[in-house]
Amino acid sequence: MAHELLAMAEQLERTSFVRDTHRLDSEHVPLQNLAELAARLHADRERRHEYFDSALLGEAAWDMMLYLFAAAVEKRQVSITTACNASGVPYSTALRYIDVLVRQGLAIRSTSEKDNRVSYIAMTHDCRVIMAAYLSRTLRNSHAADQKAFHPARAVAHSPERKRAAG
């Protein structure tokens, strides 16, 4: 299993995480709403482990990114240990994912000014912008789905089956 995770980490490193930056569209959603969404998504992902085998649900880097985004908006420093815990994988595996995030330019490490034994991790500005865009779109899509769920007549009126029957 460790070899599979290392292979996944290496694949992630070879693949650029930063895509379609020209399509950033988070300017109309308050950052606090996006931070709450990121925290909720992270909590939902953790809750899945109560129902399914953890081996089926591994996305350590994404779990860390959700946690780091919420922390950034809330202006909280995140220690490496806390980030590792947020990932849901063993500490050594989480450290490898942190290294990948740093090499990809998505996160930066720093050392405490008061205690050189403590290290912190934070999202880079570019990564925060991209995460905000992703979360903004997710939030809008969620609202659109809610609108259809709460307005079944509108959803039926615009359904493909209804259009075929009318046409």
pLDDT score recorded for residue 38 = 86
Residue 136 sits at the vertex; the CA angle it makes with 133 and 138, to the nearest 5 degrees, is 110
Smallest CA-to-CA distance from 33 within 87, 77, 69 is with 69
Look up residue 30 and give its two tokens: 């308050």
pLDDT 10s digit of each residue in the chain, 167 long?
444 544 544 554 444 444 443 344 545 778 888 888 888 888 887 777 676 666 656 688 999 999 999 999 999 999 999 999 999 899 999 999 999 999 999 999 999 999 999 999 999 999 999 989 888 888 887 766 666 665 555 545 555 555 555 55
Q: Quote the pLDDT of residue 5.
A: 44
Strand order in the sheet with 119-123: 78-79, 119-123, 107-111
Angle at 45 between CA 127 and CA 26, to 5 degrees: 35
Q: What is the pLDDT of residue 39?
A: 86
CATH top class, domain 2-12+27-166: mainly alpha
The per-residue pLDDT for 125 is: 95
Q: Report the pLDDT value the prediction gives residue 32, as an integer from 0 to 100.
A: 86
Q: What is the dihedral of CA 54, 118, 17, 140, to 10 degrees?
A: 70
pLDDT at 31: 83
Query: What would the two tokens of residue 146 be?
Result: 């809610």
